[in-house]
Amino acid sequence: MNYWLIKSEPDVFSYDDLITKGQEHWDGVRNYTARNNMKAMKTGDKAFFYHSNIGKEIIGIVKIVKEAYQDPTTEDERWVCVDVAPLKKLKNPVSLAAIKANPNLSEMKIIRQSRLSVIDITKEEFEEILNMSK
């Protein structure tokens, strides 16, 4: 299993919106690194759902339920999307400030590549953030 972090502005599409829908395609990504990360996602992988711009915090966990396919928001074949479904809303969201303050997360890509909307993370980073959310 692989681990990821996906970002969305909560006023555009929030974790609660995903809960309401039950499943949704993660579309509109127009960055090659983020696209390549989505192409690497496998059914059953887990991802943190991060609210960007407003809140700047990890709010929940999703699972990948459908692997990469043509993004329906464009006819350009270079761009893909995946389908995600909510798994669990975190009891206590984990802020970007808390991530930056944790020495165990100093190499996390959300710190080094902050504008990337789909980021791979390690199992250790995933577990550390879960612990921080308790």
4 within 8 A of 108, measured Cβ to Cβ = no
Note the pLDDT tens digit of each residue in 94-127: 999 999 999 999 999 999 888 889 999 999 999 9
Note the pLDDT tens digit of each residue in 44-54: 999 999 999 99
Instruction: Provide the domain limits for residue 53.
Output: 3-132
Tally the domains of the chain. 1
pTM, full prediction: 0.96
Name the DSSP letter for residue 114: T
**Looking at residue 93, what is its pLDDT?**
98
Note the pLDDT tens digit of each residue in 29-77: 999 999 999 999 999 999 999 999 999 999 999 999 999 999 999 999 9
> Is pLDDT of 89 > 90?
yes
> Domain containing 73 — which CATH number?
3.10.590.10
Alpha carbon separation from 118 to 1, 9, 82, 132 (Å, rounded): 16, 13, 11, 21
